[in-house]
Every structure is written in C-alpha cells, then in structure tokens.
Amino acid sequence: MPIVYCLLPLASCLYYCLLPIAYCLLPIAYTLAYCLLPIAYTLAYCLLPILLPIAYCLLPFTYH
C-alpha cells in the first residue's frame, strides 16, 4: 500500500505536533467536564419527566 507509506510520516508528524497541544488542553477539558457534568445531570433530571411522556406519545408514530 503506497498510500500508507505516504501517510505514515504525516501521521507521526501530526502525532508529535498534536500531543503537546493535547496535554495542554486535557486539564482544561477535565475542568470543563467537571463543571458541566453537574449542570448536565441537573438538566437531565429536570427535563426527563417532561421529555419522557412526549417520547412515549411520539413513539407509535416513529414506527410507521
């Protein structure tokens, strides 16, 4: 596969270029996740009782 040999150096270059960026962004991503998770859970618990009846109501229509 000549295409693989062509893409291999590019992949390794991208890997080494993006790795430091990934390490830099990882803590930010974790912090955001920890901040947003409780909000997401709260929203889910608030919206589930509203969305579930709607989903059950619309379910028969999705089969047709």
Integer Cα distance of 11 and 51 in angstroms = 44
pLDDT band at residue 4 using 50, 70 and 90 as cut-offs: confident
In a domain, 26, yes or no: yes
In a domain, 8, yes or no: no
Provide the token pair at 3: 């295409």
CA dihedral (44, 47, 51, 52) positive or negative: positive
Number of domains in the chain: 1
In angstroms, what CA-CA distances link 55 with 16, 43, 46?
A: 46, 17, 15
pLDDT tens digit string along 10-42? Answer: 888 778 888 888 888 889 988 988 889 999 999
Domain that includes residue 62, residue range: 22-64
Q: Which residue has the tokens 């295409």?
A: 3
In a domain, 6, yes or no: no
pTM of the shown model: 0.41
